[in-house]
């Protein structure tokens, strides 16, 4: 398996079976976020391309038919909207596995009509937005080419108006933006997402996560918005990865399945 990984326990998507349309040894992304669990962006890219064929994806999806999962989630070693065949891949995954499909995107390419059309094929789009100003956007997300935060916000808003599926807004709070929760909440109100996911980097990375108390204080600013939750509030169901090595490349620290003691029946 090199495209499909997991399933992994997710605080927002339960048992999440991953599809990585930018597989490889290094991260392919339009951002170089200061908190990225995959390290620095070794393959910076802001143009779409095809990285895997639909035939290769179809073969891997066939091999995991019947696996216990709640969502197929497009994520992995980079930004999924960079894949020019994202829309077809979403339709293929849903048709093969009969599961709802989610895409985790950094929102950078949503200014493109073809990207919004591809994302509209998904049942759930989780769009990331970490900063209320261009200056902080460049400091936290570190886009690999010149990108306008204002254009990205407009694009998310346009997508929300066009798209009938669920739009979740994910905000990663770190030391650099924790004092701007009110401004982020104002942005969220403008975008009117179906859900707000307040995150902080709990997986190993170069940035220290905020405490549960700090994130709870951040959350207060989002009162009145629908379905607001923090990463500390999410529950994670058990999930057994098909291939632990491939899963850990995308999810450093993913757990091995617990071993059951066959004599006592306990884990």
Binding site for ligand SF4 (CB under 6 A): 27, 29, 31-33, 36, 38, 41, 78-79, 106
The tokens for 219 are: 């959350």
Cβ proximity to ligand SF4: between 26 and 216 the closer is 26
Q: How far is the CB of 36 from ligand SF4 (least distance, A)?
A: 3
Rounded distance, CA 166 to CA 152, Å?
Answer: 18
Letter string b/e over residues 107-142, b meaning 16 or more CB atoms within 10 A of that residue's CB: bbbbbeeebbebbebbbbbbbbbbbbeeebbeebbb
Q: How far is the CB of 49 from ligand SF4 (least distance, A)?
A: 16
Q: How far is the CB of 66 from ligand SF4 (least distance, A)?
A: 29
Cβ proximity to ligand SF4: between 83 and 97 the closer is 83
Q: How far is the CB of 257 from ligand SF4 (least distance, A)?
A: 26
Cβ proximity to ligand SF4: between 7 and 78 the closer is 78
For residues 7 and 69, is the Cβ–Cβ distance under 8 A?
yes
Q: How far is the CB of 107 from ligand SF4 (least distance, A)?
A: 9
Cβ proximity to ligand SF4: between 40 and 245 the closer is 40
Listed in sequence order, the residues at least 6 apart from 44 whose beta carbon sits closer than 8 Å to its beta carbon are: 29, 30, 32, 144, 145
Cβ proximity to ligand SF4: between 67 and 174 the closer is 174
Residue 116, CA distances (Å) to 11, 50, 66, 264 in order: 25, 17, 30, 52
Rounded distance, CA 253 to CA 248, Å?
Answer: 6
The tokens for 183 are: 């401004």
Instruction: Give the relative orientation of helices 54-63 and 86-97 as an angle to the nearest 10 degrees.
Output: 20
Cβ proximity to ligand SF4: between 108 and 230 the closer is 108
Cβ proximity to ligand SF4: between 38 and 119 the closer is 38
Bridge partners of 228, per DSSP, are 196
Cβ proximity to ligand SF4: between 33 and 196 the closer is 33
Q: How far is the CB of 220 from ligand SF4 (least distance, A)?
A: 25
Q: How far is the CB of 258 from ligand SF4 (least distance, A)?
A: 28
Backbone angles phi, psi at 58, to 5 degrees: -60, -40
N residues, the chain: 267
Q: How far is the CB of 128 from ligand SF4 (least distance, A)?
A: 6
The tokens for 119 are: 């994302």
């Amino acid at each position: 398996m090199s495209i499909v990984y997991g399933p992994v326990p997710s605080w927002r998507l339960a048992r999440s079976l991953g599809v990585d349309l930018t597989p490889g040894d290094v991260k392919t992304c339009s951002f170089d976020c200061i908190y990225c669990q995959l390290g620095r962006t070794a393959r910076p890219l802001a143009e779409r391309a095809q990285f895997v064929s639909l035939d290769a994806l179809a073969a891997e999806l066939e091999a995991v038919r019947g696996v216990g999962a709640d969502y197929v989630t497009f994520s992995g070693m980079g930004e999924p909207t960079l894949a020019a065949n994202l829309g077809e891949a979403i339709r293929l995954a849903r048709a093969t596995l009969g599961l709802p499909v989610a895409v985790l995107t950094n929102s950078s390419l949503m200014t493109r009509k073809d990207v919004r059309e591809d994302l509209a094929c998904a049942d759930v789009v989780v769009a990331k937005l970490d900063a209320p100003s261009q200056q902080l956007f460049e400091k936290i997300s570190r886009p690999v080419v010149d990108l306008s935060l204002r254009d990205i916000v407009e694009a998310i808003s346009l997508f929300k108006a066009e798209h009938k599926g669920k739009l979740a807004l994910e905000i990663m709070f770190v030391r650099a933006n924790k004092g701007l929760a009110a401004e982020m909440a104002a942005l969220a109100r403008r975008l009117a997402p179906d859900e707000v996911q307040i995150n902080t980097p709990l997986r190993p990375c170069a940035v220290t996560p905020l405490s549960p108390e700090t994130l709870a204080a951040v959350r207060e600013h989002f009162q009145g918005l629908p379905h607001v939750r923090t990463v500390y509030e999410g529950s994670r169901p058990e999930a057994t990865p098909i291939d632990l090595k491939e899963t850990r490349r995308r999810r450093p620290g993913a757990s091995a399945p617990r071993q059951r003691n066959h004599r006592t029946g306990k884990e």
